[in-house]
Amino acid sequence: ATVGTVESRVYEPQLKMTGLQLFLPSDEVQEKLIHAAIYDPVHGIKARSNPVTEQARKNLLDAITHLQGRGAEAVIMGCTEVTLAVPERNIGRTVLVDPGVILARALIREQRHAADGRCYQALVKLNDALVITGQYSFVIGELPGQHA
């Protein structure tokens, strides 16, 4: 995640409520690996996202390895750019959690019974695109006629 996301502790209350332990990257890993992978003007994802540079991907994989070494069993990919470089759902036994996909799935679930079916149909198309491209981490609920 970006420094701002880490500092905001946006995920911490929910993780604590579920009894999960939060492992944050060290300040050095946050700055030299994660921040650089996202913002570096030469190899950062914001500078070069299509395709993402090998250096940005390596930085993020090294950061994941760092978190695994601290005991993390799952890693929240807390910045939309991160999943561009590391689209996998797992690295070894570590689950990679994509909050953007979880949000999209939750929107689909919540809009399922909305009065205006157009929004729901748009979200179904988004779901189909996520499934087709493999850009998903968890299936939250099932859409009618689809199976996880």
Q: Is the pLDDT of residue 96 over 60?
A: yes
pLDDT at residue 8 in the model: 80
pLDDT at residue 142 in the model: 38
Q: Is the pLDDT of residue 56 over 50?
A: yes
Confidence band of 116 (pLDDT split at 50, 70, 90)? low
pLDDT at residue 48 in the model: 92
Helix (H), strand (E), coil (C) string for the chain? CCHHHHHHCCCHHHHHHCCCCCCCCCHHHHHHHHHHHHHCCCCCCCCCECCECHHHHHHHHHHHHHHHHCCCCEEECCCCCHHHHCCCCEECCEEEECHHHHHHHHHHHHHCCCCCHHHHHHHHHHHHHHHHHCCCCCCCCCCCCCCC
The mean per-residue pLDDT over the stretch 81-106 comes to 89
Q: Supply the mean pLDDT for the chain.
A: 80
pLDDT at residue 133 in the model: 45
pLDDT at residue 118 in the model: 62
Query: pLDDT tens digit string along 4-48?
Result: 777 888 888 888 888 888 888 999 999 999 999 999 999 999 999
